[in-house]
Amino acid sequence: MVLLSQDNDGGFGLSASISALLFLTPAALIGVFAAPLAGWLADRRGWVRTLRLGTSLSLVCAMVAAVFSSSPVAVFIAIACLGIFYNGFFLTAINGLSVLLSPKEAPAALPGINGASFGIGASLGVVLVAPFAAQATAAGYATALWISVGITAAAFIVSLFVAAPKGETV
């Protein structure tokens, strides 16, 4: 998003400050407010359900960003919605599940693996999309976004295999 929003030729031509203000800050702020809602929902409706809801709606947001990658308004809305569904719902649910599903003899095992996996996933995501985003063309950015859609779809499929905490039905 940062490259797309700052590119004068293949993107939106925004300054670095405006790009961060429009495409990074809203999702982060929205996530701060969505996370407690996600925790409340997960406690009442299920952690795995909340995880899958966040993942599936993040997939929809990614698809909107990819389909409308030439529209700053559509991309802004999609990224802002990711603040709810990824930053709020997905991250809250995956962190909660990592605590709830950790074995009693190693309570930090899953939270630690979750944190390490996040870093690995973010790095690999950049490796996969960078060659296309580096083309600095509308088609290159669109391809990078579609790769992101594919990664998010894979995350949703994996979420179907996440075990529910004891006493929770899926």
Mean pLDDT in residue range 86-112: 91
Residue 10 has pLDDT above 90, yes or no: no
pLDDT band at 146 (very low <50, low <70, confident <90, very high): very high
- Region of 136 (left: φ > 0; alpha: ψ -120 to 50; beta: rest) is left
Mean pLDDT in residue range 70-75: 94
Q: How far apart are CA 111 and CA 143, in angstroms?
A: 32
Q: Which of 20, 33, 132 is nearest to 76 (CA)?
A: 20
Task: Give the pair of three-digit tokens for residue 158.
Answer: 């994996």
pLDDT band at 109 (very low <50, low <70, confident <90, very high): confident
Count Cα neighbours of 115 within 13 Å in the Cβ-side half-sphere. Answer: 5
Q: How far apart are CA 20 and CA 18, in angstroms?
A: 5
Q: How far apart are CA 9 and CA 32, in angstroms?
A: 34
123-137 pLDDT, tens digit per residue, is: 998 999 999 999 999
Q: How far apart are CA 161 and CA 53, in angstroms?
A: 14
Helix (H) or strand (E) holding 132: helix 109-133
Strand boundaries in the chain, DSSP class E: none
pTM to 2 decimal places = 0.90
Contact (CB, 8 A) for 138 and 10:
yes
Q: How far apart are CA 115 and CA 127, in angstroms?
A: 19
Residue 168 has pLDDT above 90, yes or no: no
pLDDT for the residue numbered 35: 96
17-44 pLDDT, tens digit per residue, is: 999 999 999 999 999 999 999 999 999 9
The residue type of 93 is A
pLDDT for the residue numbered 111: 87
Q: How far apart are CA 14 and CA 10, in angstroms?
A: 11
Mean pLDDT in residue range 112-117: 89
Length of the chain: 170
Query: pLDDT averaged over the chain?
Result: 93
